C-alpha cells in the first residue's frame, strides 16, 4: 500500500490515554483523528435508545448494520459521534455505556459491520486511529503501530479525573473494578482480542506524561518518513 502519509494505529486497554495521545498527535501532525471506540459506544447507546438488550446478539448485529454512525468534527476539531444525525458524543462517555460497548464489541457481526467504516476513514493515510485492534485487524499494514499500556490503578485515576473534568461524578474504586472487568472481557474474547500486533512498539505510560508519549510517537513517524518502512518493525520496545 503506497500512502503519501502514514496510518498511525494506537491500541491499548481502557483508560490508558489513547484518546488524549491520539488527539494531540492528530493536532500536531494535521491528521484526521478516528476514535473507533466511539463507534462501539454508539452501537451500545443506539441499542439502549431502542430498548434492545445488549445480550441480544442477533438484534444488536442487525442494528449495527442499520444505524447511521458518523464522526463529525466538533468546534475544536475533535470528532464527535453522531447517531442518525444527532450529536451523542457526551452520552456515549457514560460508565454504563462503557459496559455496553464492551459487551457489543464482542459480537463478530458488530465488528464486521464497523470494520468497513473504520477502513474507509483511514484508507488514504494522514490519520490517527485509536482502538483495540487497529494494528492487528483494521490496519495490519499501518505504517506506525503503538500499543500503549499502564497499570490498572493509574488508568482508573486518569479516567476518574477525565470524568470529573467533564462535570460527571466519579467513584475511583468503581472505575477500577470496571476497568479490570473490561480488560478481561476485551483481552479474552475470541474475535479480535486486545493484544499488541507483532510489529507494534509497546510503550508503558504508567510514569510517562503526555508530552513524552507524544514525542515518542512523533519519533516513530519521523523514522517511518525517512525510511519509508513501518515505524514499529525496527522500533524498540520501551517501558
CA atoms within 13 A on the CB side of 70: 10
Write down the least CB distance from residue 202 to ligand DC, Å.
Answer: 17
Segment contacting ligand DC by CB under 6 A, of 37-45, 69-77, 81-89, 140-148: 37-45
**Residue 37 interacting with ligand DC (CB under 6 A):** yes
Find the binder of ligand DC among 155, 159, 182, 216 (CB under 6 A): 182
**Residue 41 interacting with ligand DC (CB under 6 A):** yes
Find the binder of ligand DC among 21, 64, 105, 205 (CB under 6 A): 105
Question: How far is residue 54's CA from residue 58's CA, in Å, rounded to a whole number?
Answer: 10
Question: How far is residue 94's CA from residue 114's CA, in Å, rounded to a whole number?
Answer: 21
Find the binder of ligand DC among 186, 196, 201, 205 (CB under 6 A): 186
Determine the size of the site formed for ligand DC (CB under 6 A): 14
**Residue 205 interacting with ligand DC (CB under 6 A):** no
Q: How distant is the alpha carbon of residue 160 from its chain centre?
A: 18
**Residue 54 interacting with ligand DC (CB under 6 A):** no
CA atoms within 13 A on the CB side of 51: 0
DSSP annotation of 133 = S
Write down the least CB distance from residue 227 to ligand DC, Å.
Answer: 27
Residues paired with residue 10 on neighbouring β-strands, in sequence order? 130, 146
The 139-178 site mask, x for binding ligand DC (CB under 6 A), equals ----------------------------------------
Q: Which is nearer to ligand DC, 80 or 132 (CB)?
A: 132
Report residue 105 as a C-alpha cell: 464489541
**Residue 101 interacting with ligand DC (CB under 6 A):** yes
Closest C-alpha among 78, 72, 71 to residue 39:
71
**Residue 23 interacting with ligand DC (CB under 6 A):** no
Report residue 107 as a C-alpha cell: 459480537
- From residue 154, how far is each of 78, 108, 114, 161 by CA, in Å? 25, 31, 30, 11
Amino acid at each position: 500500500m503506497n500512502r503519501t502519509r502514514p496510518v498511525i494505529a494506537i491500541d491499548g486497554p481502557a483508560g490508558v490515554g489513547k484518546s488524549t495521545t491520539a488527539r494531540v498527535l492528530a493536532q500536531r501532525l494535521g491528521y484526521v483523528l478516528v476514535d473507533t471506540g466511539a463507534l462501539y459506544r454508539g452501537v451500545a447507546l443506539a441499542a439502549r435508545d431502542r430498548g434492545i438488550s445488549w445480550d441480544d446478539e442477533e438484534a444488536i448485529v442487525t442494528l449495527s448494520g442499520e444505524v447511521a454512525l458518523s464522526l463529525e468534527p466538533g468546534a475544536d476539531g475533535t470528532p464527535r459521534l453522531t447517531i442518525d444525525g444527532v450529536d451523542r458524543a457526551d452520552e456515549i462517555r457514560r460508565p454504563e455505556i462503557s459496559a455496553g460497548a464492551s459487551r457489543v464489541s464482542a459480537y463478530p457481526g458488530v465488528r464486521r459491520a464497523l470494520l468497513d467504516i473504520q477502513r474507509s476513514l483511514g484508507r488514504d493515510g494522514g490519520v490517527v486511529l485509536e482502538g483495540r485492534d487497529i494494528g492487528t485487524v483494521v490496519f495490519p499494514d499501518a505504517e506506525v503501530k503503538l500499543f500503549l499500556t499502564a497499570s490498572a490503578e493509574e488508568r482508573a485515576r486518569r479516567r476518574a479525573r477525565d470524568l470529573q473534568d467533564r462535570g460527571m461524578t466519579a467513584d475511583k474504586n468503581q472505575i477500577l473494578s470496571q476497568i479490570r472487568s473490561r480488560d478481561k472481557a476485551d483481552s479474552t474474547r475470541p474475535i479480535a482480542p486486545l493484544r499488541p500486533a507483532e510489529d507494534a512498539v509497546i510503550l508503558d505510560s504508567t510514569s510517562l506524561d503526555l508530552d513524552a508519549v507524544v514525542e515518542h510517537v512523533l519519533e516513530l513517524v519521523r523514522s517511518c518518513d525517512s525510511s519509508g518502512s513501518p515505524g514499529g518493525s525496527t522500533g524498540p520496545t520501551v517501558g
